[in-house]
Structure 1
Amino acid sequence: MTYTLITGASAGLGKAFAIQCARMGMNLVLIALPGGQAHSLARHIMEEYPVDVRAFEFDLTDVDQLQYHLPAIVDACPVDFLINNAGVGGTASIAETPLENIDRIIQLNVRGTALLTRIMIPHLLEHTRSHILNISSMAAFTPIAYKTVYPASKAFITSFSLGLREEFAGTGLSVSVACPGPILTNSGTARRIIGQGLKARLGLLPTHEIAKVAIRLTLAGQPVIIPGVANRISHFLMQLMPGNLRLRIISREVKKEMQFSI
């Protein structure tokens, strides 16, 4: 009896991953921030699907909490699939961004992902076959003004994932990274995406569709996953551009989000 561990699991894409995995018959370990409704989601999933779901609420940026909770979790729930979904971003001029916001992006997207993965790898290697799916972003493929730290953190996740994949090639552990485009996770995100115009909306996919594609291709062993035909075309075309031109075009579009940022 094995489990899939999902971080950032109580809402948005993380919730979609949880439901999709349950539909596929996977037992789940859900990790979310305190007050994130992870326990409520766990009860709901167990009412709908014949799987076991365990929920834990703690802050992944707290190293002491990580080291306290994870050994007990894997001791009770053998994990053979890790989905590092938790992450945070935002759009703002760097000069006006509070220091704590910058620190939060780095602590969660970079340090939290790396440390949790390091702790989990020995347990994943105990299984004949296991998987890691890290959630990056289309933003990982280019620097972006008015986001600055966020795409840099996602570039780290992409690089980190592909490095891990090569390091564990030939073992039973397969590592994939998903790079979705814009996601409508809440009203604030919706306003920002709408503010970017038609080109941004073309890449939109429902969270359940992103989760379905990402899980299927991870289990098939694909290294880099870009959900959505429009996003794959956009990525291909952007890679044909000189880097400085790509930076200016994307940054100009992102700047339109500023009026909707809090």
Structure 2
Amino acid sequence: MPDNKYTLITGASSGLGKEFAIQCARKGMNIILIALPGSRLQSVAESLELEYHIHVKVFEFDLSDSDILKQQLQIITRNHDINFLINNAGIGGTSSITHTSLERIDDIIMLNVRGTVLLTHLLIPHLLKHPQSYIMNIASMAAFTPIAYKTVYPASKAFISSFFLGLKEELAGTGLSVSVIYPGPIMTNSHTSRRIISQGLKGKMGLLSTPDIAHIALKGTLAGHPVIIPGLMNKINHVLMQLLPLSFRMRIVSREVKKEIPYSLSV
């Protein structure tokens, strides 16, 4: 039978977030799923409860709306005991800065940066109540290098990397472990798949399945590893890229990313 502790997962309706929900349920964890309204999370919750005999709670709201976030977190923490936070929600896109709307730029910053930090800040006091608790944060290999035609997205993931690794050090010795995950390309939907395929062999280097990424991320986080780069090719690529001068590294990566533009959603 499940206990009364919960794992909270953001961006849980599809892709990596949904896979985290499945694998956490398989481990016997109760789950709180958060996604945007209209994400049909309830069907996911019912399926997980039926198959794994755990408790699943669903909350649909916009994490980038700070007032709603505070209101919903009060309800969640009043009724549920959270010992694991998975910050998975995030958005990006590929386009030149002159063709990127101000609204899109604001959306990326508000969700990837502001919403993630506010959610974490609100939950830390509750996580610290446990002898052992965890925060997992999904960054990206893009966090390691500034990239043209994405600009805001890798900057937001670099922020996530810096913020949470700093938080890891600040919370050392408290029992609250913080991990940052740096996945490579993920084929989460048809649009991202077309962008990855458009880059040819280089785009597919380091490509792992969503279940594999989730498995590696969960295993590393529960083991207390602060930095987790899923996949051998991604680890090798990271080491090799750090040996290159920054200007050369940016040029190489940006040239490949530019190929994604015809396959990207309007931003």
Q: TM-score, normalised by structure 2?
A: 0.97
1:215-239: CA deviation from partner (whole Å, max 9, x where unpaired): 1100101011000111111111101
Contact 1:144 1:151 in 2 (8 A): yes
User: What is the RMSD computed on CA atoms of the aligned residues?
Assistant: 0.6
Q: Find the counterpart in structure 1 of residue 109 from structure 2.
A: 106
Equivalent residue in structure 1 for 2:200, among 197, 200, 208: 197
Secondary structure of 1:55's counterpart equals strand
Q: Deviations over 1:177-207 (max 9, x none)?
A: 0010010011000000001110121211111
Q: Does 1:34 align with 2:69?
A: no
| Aligned-partner Cα distance in 1 for 2:118–2:195 | 31
Paired position in structure 1 for 2:223: 220
Matches of 1:94 and 1:187 in 2, distance apart? 23
Cα deviations by residue, 1:69-109 (Å, 9 ceiling, x for unpaired): 11211221100000000000000000010110000000000
Where does residue 5 of structure 1 map in the other structure?
8
CA distance in 1, matches of 2:80, 2:215: 23
Rounded Cα–Cα distance in structure 1 between residues aligned with 2:220 and 2:116: 21
1:146 counterpart = 2:149 = yes
Deviates most, 65-74 or 132-141? 65-74
**Equivalent-residue separation in structure 1 for 2:93 and 2:121 (angstroms):** 27
1:57 matched to 2:75: no
Q: Does 1:260 align with 2:266?
A: no
2:28 to 25, 28, 38: 25
Amino acid in structure 2 at the alignment position of 1:47: L
Q: Does residue 155 in structure 1 map to residue 168 in structure 2?
A: no
Match among 223, 244, 258 for residue 241 of structure 1: 244
Q: Pick one of 187, 194, 202 that aligns with 1:184.
A: 187
Point out the more displaced range, 82-91 or 32-41: 32-41
Name which of structure 1's ranges 35-44 and 102-111 shifts more when overlaid on structure 2: 35-44
Unpaired segments ≥5 residues, structure 1: none
Q: Deviations over 1:98-154 (max 9, x none)?
A: 110000000000000000000000000011100000000000000000000000000
- Residues of 2 paired with 1:25 and 1:236: CA distance? 36
Residue of structure 2 aligned with 1:137, choices 136, 140, 144:
140
Unaligned runs of 5+ in 2: none
CA–CA distance in 1 between the matches of 2:207 and 2:39?
25
Q: Does 1:164 align with 2:129?
A: no
CA contact (8 A) 1:39 1:56 kept: no
Give the letter for the 2:43 counterpart.
S
State how many pairs are aligned.
262
Q: State the partner residue of 1:68.
A: 71
Q: Within 2, Cα distance between the matches of 1:72 and 1:172?
A: 25
Query: Matched residue of 2:230: which SS?
Result: coil
Match of 1:124 among 113, 124, 127: 127
Query: What is the DSSP-based 3-state SS (H/G/I as helix, E as strand, rest coil) of the residue aligned with 2:130?
Result: coil
Q: Distance in 1 between matches of 2:116 and 2:40?
A: 21
Runs of 4+ in 1 over 4 A off after TM superposition: none
Name the % identity: 65
- Distance in 2 separating the partners of 1:223 and 1:172: 13
Letter in structure 2 aligned against 1:66: L
For 2:5, the aligned partner's letter is T
